[in-house]
Structure 1
């Protein structure tokens, strides 16, 4: 049987929504999981769901890891999903419709609706959080970015799928802040390699600007107390990025 749609994930300790994520991928012809050293039952859960599971011994960064995962997929079309994301029925139907039509040289964005400690955020610059997730395997792939990787698709047509991708990005505060700190450090590493520098003043100014943009310009105040908390954590992330870069490069 030919494989039309491969749902592809990179994993490490899948988290509380991993099973629900896998269940929502029933529309795919195969599920491909590339794990990078989970210490919980992520691999077992994936295998029980019928996924084709592979394990990498090292961690090369997000972009390169997605490139590796793509090599394991057999589908004509790849749909990427993270372990804390759940595909709605409307989105699944839209994916199937696109694959049936079979357009060439086209990538498709999803609209992510993100959960933030008890509330879906519909403002604050978080919705619609459009990100490319569906494309033909033989046409495109991810770039080499260590963090905040993107699908490399120069010259491609771009369209948006119907339905939302539910993103349970923030359910545990300690885990959320720890992930934010890791991302900030990865960002600083990538900039330091390129010869970029920063100062503590730039860390403070970027932090203040991030809060103002999130809470005022992007109307985070319409998300109530959750919007205020989101603006504060965004400011902290901005500060950590530039502070980490300063620590890595100052003389």
Structure 2
């Protein structure tokens, strides 16, 4: 199965992360990377791997970058990864054992969030469709995030991917603030009746940070992870506070 798969990765200044991701992809005959004109050591690292083909494309949205990348892939299957995703050995073996001839068009995988390399007991990250047939897939934007839509049957794999982002906190804050501007626009533009319960709570601004703190530490067991769990919980609380501030700003600008 692995011989029929091409990994697809988006990059922009991912020097602190990309090597760990690529070291788990040495089995791939070809890796497609869509780079948004990185200015750090990312390109130097990428070019050190002979099986990598780099295409630079101006960033418009995550969905458009992914769709651009799909057009560069000739294999039947695509393994879509962020540049801070690290495949576990168990997942690699599981994918390799999949039957080549199957009526399944996509597979989803769960994540273990890592703080400074330590996997946490719980995470807010939902499973994501990462392995799919190229001709069946198209990406669409969803708020600040993006989703791949794949026609046909889908299954869940049992292995995990480690989400291990080690970029500096300043970069994380910049990214979160950018995401929350987009997320605020989505929440305000969507009728309340069409929002999920979680998004309805977030739209109220005040309760969400407190709920997220309790959810991460108690319901997800983060308190058992020591300071790593507290670090993750405080990150998520800060993200919700940024969203609340951006919601207030957007609402005032509309008046």
TM over 0.5: yes
Number of the residue aligned with 2:196: none
Change over 3 Å in CA distance of 1:18–1:147 after alignment to 2: same
C-alpha distance in structure 1 between counterparts of 2:26 and 2:231, whole Å? 35
* Cα pair 1:207 1:238 within 8 Å, conserved: yes
Q: Does 1:165 align with 2:161?
A: yes
Number of the residue aligned with 1:148: 145
The two structures have a TM-score, normalised by structure 1, of 0.84
Number of the residue aligned with 2:53: 52
Number of the residue aligned with 1:92: 92
Q: Does 1:102 align with 2:119?
A: no
Q: Does 1:238 align with 2:235?
A: no
Q: Does 1:175 align with 2:157?
A: no
Change over 3 Å in CA distance of 1:85–1:210 after alignment to 2: same
Cα deviation, 1:218-247, whole Å, max 9, x if unaligned, reads 222222222223222212211211321221
C-alpha distance in structure 1 between counterparts of 2:181 and 2:30, whole Å? 34
Number of the residue aligned with 1:74: 74
Cα deviation, 1:15-37, whole Å, max 9, x if unaligned, reads 22312322211222310011111
Shift of 1:195: 7.5
Number of the residue aligned with 1:227: 229
Shift of 1:101: 3.0
Change over 3 Å in CA distance of 1:244–1:199 after alignment to 2: farther
Number of the residue aligned with 2:122: 123
Shift of 1:188: 2.0
Cα deviation, 1:52-95, whole Å, max 9, x if unaligned, reads 111113x2211221111111111110001121122233222222
Unaligned runs of at least 5 residues, structure 2: 193-199
> Does 168-177 or 71-80 show the bigger shift?
168-177
C-alpha distance in structure 2 between counterparts of 1:42 and 1:218, whole Å? 34
Unaligned runs of at least 5 residues, structure 1: none
C-alpha distance in structure 2 between counterparts of 1:61 and 1:189, whole Å? 15
**From 217, 220, 229, the counterpart of 2:219:** 217
Change over 3 Å in CA distance of 1:92–1:118 after alignment to 2: closer
> Does 174-183 or 74-83 show the bigger shift?
174-183
* Cα pair 1:15 1:84 within 8 Å, conserved: no
Shift of 1:116: 0.9
Question: Cα RMSD over matched residues?
Answer: 2.7
- How many aligned positions are there? 244
Change over 3 Å in CA distance of 1:195–1:47 after alignment to 2: farther
C-alpha distance in structure 2 between counterparts of 1:199 and 1:131, whole Å? 23
